[in-house]
């Protein structure tokens, strides 16, 4: 119920130009790896936005059918996403997007006779 309500007086995280560049490279790496794991019909993108408590990084996948699947990362003191985390994130996004598409597909893929 109060998941998005900031109750604390935590200061917003500010990124330096180098930190923003490193985070953007990490996101690009996750997006590229996710693209490698999926067929070309899946659209993969990433962005960094500014939220109430600082930057928020997002990688999202739009399957050919079904809803968008995304993962958010709110950097704190450690801005970089380590390699094992990037691989896990890419694999998780790819698997979730494939499942989203599978669930959106009809159970009987054969065409209906009319």
pLDDT at 83: 83
Comparing 49 with 80, which gets the higher pLDDT? 49
- CA-nearest of 36, 29, 5 to 80 is 29
Classify domain 17-101 by CATH number.
3.30.160
Report the b/e string of 48-76 with b at 16+ CB within 10 A: eeeeeeebbbebbbbbeebeebebebebe
pLDDT tens-place string over residues 81-102: 888 889 999 999 999 999 999 9
More confident position, 72 or 61: 61
Distance, C-alpha 37 to centroid of its chain: 14
3-state secondary structure of 6: coil
Kindly list the domain boundaries of the chain, sorted by start residue: 17-101
pLDDT score, position 9: 56
pTM (predicted TM-score): 0.78
Q: Where are the beta strands (DSSP E) in 6-100?
A: 43-51, 54-62, 69-73
């Amino acid at each position: 119920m109060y998941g998005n309500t900031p109750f604390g007086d935590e200061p917003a995280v500010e990124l330096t130009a180098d930190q923003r560049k490193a985070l953007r490279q990490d996101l690009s790496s996750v997006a590229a790896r996710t693209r490698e794991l999926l067929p070309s019909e899946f659209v993969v993108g990433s962005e960094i936005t500014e939220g109430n408590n600082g930057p928020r990084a997002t990688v999202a996948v739009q399957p050919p059918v079904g809803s968008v699947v995304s993962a958010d990362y709110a950097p704190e003191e450690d801005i970089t996403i380590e390699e094992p985390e990037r691989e896990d994130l890419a694999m998780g996004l790819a698997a979730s997007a494939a499942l989203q598409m599978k669930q959106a597909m009809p159970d009987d893929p054969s065409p209906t006779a009319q």
